[in-house]
Amino acid sequence: MKPGVILAEILEGRRISGEEFLFLYQEADLLALARAAVTIRDRRFPNDLITFIIDRNINYTNVCSCRCKFCAFYREATSPDAYVMGKEELFRKIEEAVNAGATQVMIQGGLHPELGIDYFTDMFSSIKRKYDITIHSLTAPEIVHIAGVSGLTTRETLQRLAAAGLDSLPGGGAEVLHDEVRTRISPNKIRTAEWLRVMQEAHEIGLKTTATMMMGSLDTVEHRLAHLEAIRELQDKTGGFRAFIMWTYQPGNNELMGSKVTSLEYLRMLALSRLYLDNFAHVQGSWVTQGKQIGQLSIFFGADDLGSVMLEENVVRAAGLAYKASKEEIIDLIRKAGKTPAQRDTAYNILKIF
């Protein structure tokens, strides 16, 4: 079969198989993939909007026992620049975020050996008492870690965190959901099955999540396909993923080093992800790891959202990357791509059209 025939069938509503995904990855014309991805996106969102969110990333600690080889952020507890954030600083950061129009905080950190459930339930409930803000926080590895430190199951941990104010979970810590990759880049991190189990439990208790993928470290296209297969299957079961967010590995200041995937490779995977993940509403383009121009181009490869105007991002910055964009710049990027910019909330409700 020719790539064009498969693309035409996808546009008629047929689900793409893994084999076809690999075939299209190898053979399809990049712009044909882009056109198909945009058609599918525009059918889902005929309103012409491309969205973004204003949020703040807050990293409560950089102490982490996991020591991922791609990570430039973590520190040993004894390191002179190790920290655990106190409430005063946390509140100051949230206050600043609220004043800057943020609707969400993404609180994430290292796997600190001494921070158990009480630290987090206290943190979340005190945030909710003071601020009207969505807490989109803690990744699956953190949930497993907090459960372990606290002698709880992950389901109990999620339930207690949700009761304290956790609204939804980011999909971080997924990297590439294939244990061949995970054992090499993050030997101490939870494996694929555990990440999927925590996500399923979150969905079952009513917490929505996103699904992320960090491509471009030691992964092949087959590994990435396994990732997409796993999240598409779980989404069929639970419908609990709000969005798919793909980042590229940032070589720099870490143990793994290596090289960066090209922008064309990123855009090809982005378009293919839009086509493969037919049960995901939102696919995000990443200007944080790709830069503003490629972030803007992602709109032409099937992205309907540009993620966050972030007030702080320490983890990517630790790898030596410091792309920053203001709300005005993001609005301008979207407008110049011929689309209408809109600010959204965590649940993708439109808050304001520009």
- Chain contacts with ligand SF4 (rule: CB under 6 A): 64, 66-68, 71, 73-74, 110-111, 141, 186, 189
Continuous H helices in 12-59: 18-27, 30-44
How far are the Cα atoms of 53, 238, 275, 291, 333 from residue 339, in angstroms, in the given order? 16, 31, 21, 19, 9
The least distance separating ligand SF4 from the CB of residue 208, rounded to whole angstroms, comes to 22
**Residue 61 or 343 having the CB closest to ligand SF4:** 61
Nearer to ligand SF4 by C-beta: 38 or 319? 319
Residue 60 CB, nearest approach to ligand SF4 (Å): 11
CB-based burial label for 171 (10 Å; 0-12, 13-18, 19+):
buried
What is the nearest approach in angstroms of ligand SF4 to the Cβ of residue 231?
19
Q: Least CB distance from residue 63 to ligand SF4, whole Å? A: 9
Judge contact between 137 and 108, C-beta under 8 A. Answer: yes
Q: How far is the CB of 76 from ligand SF4 (least distance, A)?
A: 11
How far apart are alpha carbons 90 and 106 in whole angstroms?
Answer: 12
CA gap 344, 354 in Å, rounded:
11
Q: How far is the CB of 115 from ligand SF4 (least distance, A)?
A: 13
Q: How far is CA 228 from CA 38, 142, 143, 279, in A?
A: 19, 22, 22, 11
- Cβ proximity to ligand SF4: between 174 and 231 the closer is 174
* Min dist. Cβ of residue 218 to ligand SF4 (A): 15
For residues 110 and 341, which CB has a smaller minimum distance to ligand SF4 in the complex? Answer: 110
Query: Which residue from 313, 286, 325 is spatially nearest to 73, judged by alpha carbons?
Result: 313
- CA dist 126 and 340 (Å) reads 37
Quick one: which of 70, 153, 81, 66 has its CA closest to 113?
A: 66
By C-beta, is 68 or 228 nearer to ligand SF4?
68
Count other C-beta atoms under 10 Å from residue 79's C-beta.
11
Residue 276's nearest CA partner among 16, 25, 78, 95 is: 16
Give whichever of 141 and 295 is closer to ligand SF4, judged by the CB atom.
141
Complex with ligand SF4: residue 143 or 325, whichever CB lies closer: 143
